[in-house]
Structure formats: C-alpha cells, structure tokens
C-alpha cells in the first residue's frame, strides 16, 4: 500500500521521512504531519505483528507519534530519526504487550466458551486441500506465514519484521531493539529457523 | 566447518552479512554437503515468503487523531494547573524534604524547651546569709544581680529596673521570672539579699521550677533547704495555679508537712503569683523547708519508694517548727543556697533527705547555655551516672574536664569487672579525655565527692589518670566541692596536669 511518502512494509528508512524529521526538529510543526504519514504504516505493521490486534496496533501507533512529538527534544540525531522512532515503537509495544498478558492472567475464562484447541492448527488448514502442500494457494501460504510470525515470541517477531518485512539493516535493528549486533543476528536466524520449520511441509524444490 | 556451524551462518549468508573468509568456508561446505544445500534452499524460500508478506493497512486519519490526542494532552496539562504542579515528583520530593526539616527543627526546639535535664542545670538563685553578702563574689557565675531592699543591682552594671533580657524563645517566661524576682524583693521578706544569676532569662525562669535542699535532721537547727519543683517548662511556670508548700521539721522529726494548698486562678497576675512565692521564700529564709509536693513525692519514690506521708492537718506544728528553726539556726546554716549552675536532685536515705548536686564552672555553663548537643550529651551522661552510683557531687574545672569526667565514669560503668558492690574500677585506658581536660601545660581536673568506703579501690584507680588529693570530710560538711583551678585549657593536649580531688565523706 502507499501512504503518500513511501511504500509501507517494503522500503528502508526513507530519506523523505528524515527530511520531515529535520524540519520538525527545526521548529516546523506542520512537518510533523508529514512525519506521521511517512512512518505510520511501518509503525502500525510493527505494532500489529507484535500485538496481534488491530485495535492495539492503532492505539500503539498513535502513542508512538504522540510520544515522539513530546520527546522530540530528546532525539540527539546520533542515529536516523526512523531508527529512533522504531526504538520508541518497540518500547511502547513491549509495554502494551506486557499489560495485555497481565490482563489475560486475570481474565475469567468460561468453560462453555469455544476453546482455541478446537481451532485447526496452521498445518491442518493447509493440509485439508488436495493433499499435497505444493498445491496450496499462495494466498493461503501467506496466511500461514503470517500465523507463523504471530506464533513467534515478541523478541524474535520484532527483529524478523524489521529485517525481512521492513528491510532494515542489522545495525538499525540492533539500535531499535537496544541489543548488540550479535544478539540481533542470532535472533533473526532463530526466528527465521522457526518459521522455516513450520513451513517445511510446504517448502520443497518448487519455486515459491 | 561442520554442518552445524554452517547452518548457524546460513541466515547471515542469505543476507550477505558474512565476511569473505567465512563466506568462502560456508560455500566450500555447501559445495560438498547436499543436506546443507537443501536447508539453504528452504531458508531462502522462507525469507522470500517473509518479505512477501503484505503489509496491513493502518486505520485512516492517523494524522488527525494523533493531532487531536496531542492537543488534548496539552489542554489537560494546562487545565491541571496547580494540581498538576503539586503532583509532580519534583514537588513531592521538595515537600517531603521540607516536612522532614520542619519536624527536625520542631523536635530540636521542643527538646530544648521541654527537657528538664537540659534546663535544670541553668538554675540560678542564690540566697546567701546577710553577713556573707560581701564575700558572695560570683564564684562560678558569670555575673550576679543583687536585690537589696527592693532594689536590684548587678555586678555587670545592669540597672535596677532593667529586666533581664530574654532570649527570643523564652521571652514570656523570662519576663515573668523577672517580675517574680522583683516582687520577691519588694516584699521585703526575702531577707537582706537575694542574688539572682542573670546568666540567661530562661535560666532564671527555670530556677522557679527546681530548688533543691538538704535537710540535716541530726543537727539542731540544721539547714533546711527548699526543694520545690513544679512541672518543668514555661507553661507550667506561667500557670502555677496551685502552690503546695511543705515544711520539714528537722529537729522534731515531724517529717514533711504540707503547709498550705492554695488555689489560685490561672489568670492571676504574675506579680501576684510572685508575691505569693516571695512569701514562701521568706518562710524559707526563716528556716522552713519549702518544698513542692510533687518534687518530694517524685524524689522519694525515685530513690526509696517509701515516701513519708505528708500530714496535711498540722499547720500549727509546722509553724512552730518554722519559728524554732528561724530563731535557733546559725547564720551560716540559714543559708538557703541553690547553685546557680548546678542541678540538684533529691535522694532519701534512711531518714535523710540528701541532695545530689552537680556543679560546673562558668565556662561550662556558658557552653550549656549555648545548648550544644554535645554538652547536653555530657549532662545526660553525668546525670545518669550520678543517679546510678549515688555520687554526692562532681565538680569539674571546665567543660572539657566535665566531658572527660563523664567519659571516664561511663567507661567505669561499662566495665564488666566491677566488684560485687558495684565499685568502680578504672585504668588509664578508659579515661580518655581526662588528660586533655587540663589542656596545654596547665592544669584542670575535677573534684568528686563520694562516701568513704563506698567505692573501695576507686581512689587508687584514679591515681592512674591524674594527680589525686584526698580529703576526708564530715558527712555534714557544708562547704561545697570546688573544682581545681583551671589554669590552662588553651589547647587539647595530654601533657597537662589532671587534678583530681576526692572528697571522702566520713560516715
């Protein structure tokens, strides 16, 4: 999709966003709107992949920009503005995820409510069709990939999303998540390996 | 490179993040290992799928909602105003600090005002006999105000009607105290002379609260000193609506009598109250022992537990006793003297009401008047020691010596090898401060008065730490212990001479 500035989910930190950031730091308040447009898709997608909820992702995205607006004075320019914004987003998403898990611990589950156990596993979804996974439609395969991403722990999901879905470099990911480069490499490799193992039945010699 | 090592690096290999050497090693292995080549293929497919995941569309008008939210938070912050400021962590921290500071300040002030021990040593009323007036030089007082025939003169030039200048915190009390003194002088019944130490106004005020006395029943016409104590503190001094007077008839052994219980309204004028107290002082000068019921009860309970029950219905007997004492007592024994710098506490022993007195010299008194905590600590230590060991008195040359005394005696007290009688044992190691009490090349020290035989070996131990001179005195000796002359306290050094005078009361 397009948001007017950059193709969301595909490009790296774009120079347009950096220009908006420069103007906004210089005191141009209207540049903030362009800044939001430049990064809203990436922030929303990152939040959605971590929080697995559109509502939470929407709230988190707004909070990211509000925090950025209020804390723009703390941005010292040592890294790209986009990278700094990812740092804000990762922290907000982690906090919200922590709150969500805490709420879930105290939620009362009804025994009559339908259980997730009855839901078919991702593999079953794909295997009910004509038998061989190779015949799986690409759309269904992409849904399966999304489920695989959603099943990853947050610390692996965020780095995989930033690296593979949003095209950030290892260094940028390391700054965004606040870890060393080696840790980021390890997490990316393990995240990919986990997805690969879940997709193994549908991977083969065929071209994807 | 093993398959495990290669597969750990496949992710970086796919991203082109491996250095040239490692990449060559991985390529070499992949060339030879089909399994690893298959894993590489699966990984490349997985990454391709991940990169192909379609981005979800964000909700519309995020920009507008973010703007609205920012504006709302700014407005909320403005509307919070004072409460927002009050809720900030910085303000809370500052408020907490101010609260703690205020509590500490109040505590210090309150402690100074309410601690009887810290105030009692500022006692300052001396009533010598008429003939000894001329010799009544300010032995250990800073200056002396003399009241003669209703006129007040001071040794340092204060005018007769000039009130003692009060300290800021004790102004009302000091003013009342001055009025009290003046009224007593105007009554003309106080005797010829009343010495009023003008050291500090609150000192004079507290002097009303605690006056100690020694009753000597074994001598005809023995000295009967007043021991009057009301509840310590300025408030009690101002609202003295009950005057309880007792007389101890030393000769007849009638015991303590309650002379009168006179109810006075709290709003009575200070001059009126002072006039009534002047009457009591006049009785005291006639030989009666004027004692506050509270003090006597307190003292007797504290020391013996079997308080002589006061007889409230014998005013005639006590008057007779007063007249007898007043007529037959030698002038020297009529002296109802209360140290201007000492603290006295009553102690019953058998049938005797004996005083425990602590005196200090002028420099020390000044130090106490300044109210340093260190001095208060020394006071507490000495008071506690005297109370525990029933020492008759301790007099030191200066405040350094006094601290040395306290330190040394407390060290004695802590020693585990006290004998069965609780006698004090000392050695040179636990008398720190005594050497420095002299200071420089001069000499200073202390005089300690104890009962002979009470502490066997104590004098021998004291010889280890200073120059000890012994003096055996009669139990009824009336002269007060005097501190060795302070000839050098210019510096803190251990080379000075520590003069220790031990006065042994022969029982």
Distance between B109 CA and the closest CA of chain A, angstroms: 47
Structure tokens at B404: 């040395």
pLDDT tens profile B427-446: 333 344 444 444 444 566 67
pLDDT of residue B61: 84
B393, β-bridge pairs = B357, B449
Interacting residues of B75 by C-beta distance below 8 A, sequence separation 6+: none
From the list B42, B50, B55, the residue facing A45 with the nearest CB is B55
Kindly determine whether residue A58 and residue B47, on different chains, have CB atoms separated by under 8 Å.
no
Query: In chain A, what residues touch B17 (CB-CB under 8 Å)?
Result: 170, 185
pLDDT band at B67 (very low <50, low <70, confident <90, very high): confident
- For chain B, what percentages of helix, strand and coil (3-state, to nearest 5) are there? 45, 20, 35
pLDDT of residue A17: 76
pLDDT band at B255 (very low <50, low <70, confident <90, very high): very low
Distance between A175 CA and the closest CA of chain B, angstroms: 17
Mean pLDDT of the region B468-480: 70
Mean pLDDT of the region B137-144: 38
pLDDT tens profile B148-183: 443 434 444 444 444 434 333 333 443 444 344 444
Buried b (16+ CB within 10 A) or exposed e, B404-433: bbbbbbebbbeeeeeeeeebbbbeeebbeb
Residue with tokens 């001095």: B375
Comparing A86 with B83, the larger pLDDT belongs to A86
pLDDT of residue B426: 38
Distance between B16 CA and the closest CA of chain A, angstroms: 11
Query: In chain A, what residues touch B70 (CB-CB under 8 Å)?
Result: 66, 69-70
Distance between B94 CA and the closest CA of chain A, angstroms: 25
Interacting residues of A201 by C-beta distance below 8 A, sequence separation 6+: A123, A126, A127, A133
From the list B48, B57, B63, the residue facing A37 with the nearest CB is B63
Mean pLDDT of the region A104-127: 47
Distance between B50 CA and the closest CA of chain A, angstroms: 6
pLDDT at B331 over 80: no
Interacting residues of B218 by C-beta distance below 8 A, sequence separation 6+: B476
Interface residue of B43, B45, B65 to substitute, partner A, most A CBs within 10 Å: B45
Structure tokens at B370: 């300044």
Give the DSSP H or E segment for A82: helix A81-106
- Residue of chain B minimizing CA distance to A193: B43
Mean pLDDT of the region B314-339: 38
Interface of B with A (CB under 8 A): 8, 10-12, 15, 17, 41-43, 45-59, 62-63, 65-67, 69-70, 73
Mean of the per-residue pLDDT values of chain B: 54
- Residue of chain B minimizing CA distance to A43: B58
From the list A41, A65, A165, the residue facing B51 with the nearest CB is A165
From the list B8, B49, B63, the residue facing A199 with the nearest CB is B49
Kindly determine whether residue B62 and residue A44, on different chains, have CB atoms separated by under 8 Å.
yes
Mean pLDDT of the region A7-25: 64
Q: Are strands B443-451 and B497-506 parallel, antiparallel or unpaired?
A: parallel
The overall pTM is greater than 0.90: no
3-state secondary structure of A42: helix
pLDDT at B37 over 60: yes
ipTM confidence score: 0.81
Mean pLDDT of the region A104-119: 51
Distance between B47 CA and the closest CA of chain A, angstroms: 7
CA distance B145 to B197: 6
Interface A-B: count of C-beta contacts within 8 A: 111
Most confident of A159-173, B205-219, B386-400: A159-173
Instruction: Give the lowest-confidence range in A87-101, B82-96, B282-296, B462-476.
Output: B282-296
């Amino acid at each position: 999709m397009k948001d007017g500035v950059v193709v969301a989910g595909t490009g790296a930190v774009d120079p347009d966003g950096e220009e908006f950031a420069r103007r906004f730091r210089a005191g141009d308040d209207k540049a903030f709107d362009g800044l939001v447009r430049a990064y809203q898709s990436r922030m929303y997608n990152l939040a959605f992949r971590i929080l697995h909820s559109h509502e939470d992702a929407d709230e988190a995205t707004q909070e990211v920009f509000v925090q950025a607006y209020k804390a723009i004075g703390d941005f010292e320019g040592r890294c790209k503005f986009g990278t700094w914004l990812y740092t804000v987003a990762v922290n907000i998403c982690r906090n919200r995820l922590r709150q969500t898990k805490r709420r879930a611990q105290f939620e009362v589950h009804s025994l009559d409510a339908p259980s997730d156990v009855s839901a078919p596993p991702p593999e079953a979804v794909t295997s009910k069709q004509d038998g061989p996974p190779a015949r799986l439609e690409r759309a269904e395969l992409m849904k399966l990939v999304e489920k695989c991403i959603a099943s990853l722990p947050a610390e692996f999901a965020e780095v995989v999303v930033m690296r593979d879905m949003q095209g950030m470099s290892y260094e940028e990911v390391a700054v965004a998540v606040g870890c060393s480069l080696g840790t980021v490499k390890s997490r990316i490799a393990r995240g990919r390996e986990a997805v690969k193992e879940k997709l193994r039945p549908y991977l083969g010699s065929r071209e994807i | 490179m093993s398959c495990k090592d290669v597969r750990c690096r496949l992710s970086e290999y796919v991203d082109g993040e491996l250095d040239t050497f490692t990449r060559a090693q991985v390529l070499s292995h992949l060339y030879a290992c089909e399994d690893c080549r298959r894993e590489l293929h699966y990984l490349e497919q997985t990454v391709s799928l991940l990169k192909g995941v379609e981005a979800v569309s964000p909700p519309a008008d995020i920009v507008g909602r973010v703007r609205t939210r920012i504006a709302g938070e700014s407005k909320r912050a403005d509307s919070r105003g004072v409460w927002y400021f009050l809720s900030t962590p910085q303000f809370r921290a500052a408020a907490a600090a101010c609260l703690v500071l205020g509590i500490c300040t109040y505590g210090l002030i309150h402690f100074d005002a309410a601690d009887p021990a810290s105030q009692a040593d500022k006692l300052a009323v001396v009533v010598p006999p008429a003939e000894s007036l001329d010799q009544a030089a300010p032995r250990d007082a800073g200056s002396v105000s003399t009241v003669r025939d209703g006129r007040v003169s001071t040794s340092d030039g204060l005018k007769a009607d000039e009130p003692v200048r009060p300290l800021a915190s004790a102004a009302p009390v000091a003013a009342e105290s001055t009025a009290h003194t003046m009224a007593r002088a105007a009554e003309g019944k106080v005797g010829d002379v009343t010495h009023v130490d003008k050291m500090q106004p609150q000192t004079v005020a507290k002097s009303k609260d605690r006056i100690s006395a020694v009753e000597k029943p074994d001598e005809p016409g023995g000295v009967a000193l007043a021991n009057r104590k009301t509840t310590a503190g300025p408030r009690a001094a101002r609202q003295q609506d009950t005057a309880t007077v007792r007389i101890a008839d030393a000769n007849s052994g009638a015991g303590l009598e309650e002379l009168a219980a006179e109810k006075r309204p709290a709003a009575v004028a200070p001059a009126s109250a002072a006039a009534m107290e002047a009457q009591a002082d006049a009785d005291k000068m006639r030989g009666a022992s004027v004692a506050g019921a509270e003090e006597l009860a307190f003292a007797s309970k504290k020391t013996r537990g079997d308080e002589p029950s006061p007889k409230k219905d014998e005013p005639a007997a006590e008057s007779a006793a007063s007249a007898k004492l007043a007529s037959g007592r030698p002038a020297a024994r009529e002296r109802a003297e209360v140290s201007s710098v000492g603290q006295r506490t009553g102690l019953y022993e058998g049938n005797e009401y004996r005083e425990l007195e602590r005196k200090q010299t002028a420099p020390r008194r000044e130090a106490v008047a300044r109210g340093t905590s260190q001095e208060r600590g020394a006071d507490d230590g000495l008071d506690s020691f005297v109370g525990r060991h029933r020492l008759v008195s301790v007099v030191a040359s200066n405040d350094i010596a006094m601290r040395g005394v306290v330190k040394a005696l407390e060290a004695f007290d802590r020693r585990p090898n006290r004998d069965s009688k609780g006698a004090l044992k000392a050695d040179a190691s636990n008398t720190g401060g005594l050497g420095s009490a002299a200071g420089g090349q001069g000499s200073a020290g202390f005089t300690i008065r104890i009962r002979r035989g009470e502490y066997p070996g104590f004098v021998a131990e004291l010889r280890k730490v200073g120059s000890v001179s012994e003096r055996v005195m009669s139990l009824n000796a009336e002269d007060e212990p005097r501190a060795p002359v302070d000839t050098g306290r210019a510096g803190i050094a251990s080379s000075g001479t520590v003069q220790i005078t031990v006065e042994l009361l022969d029982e």
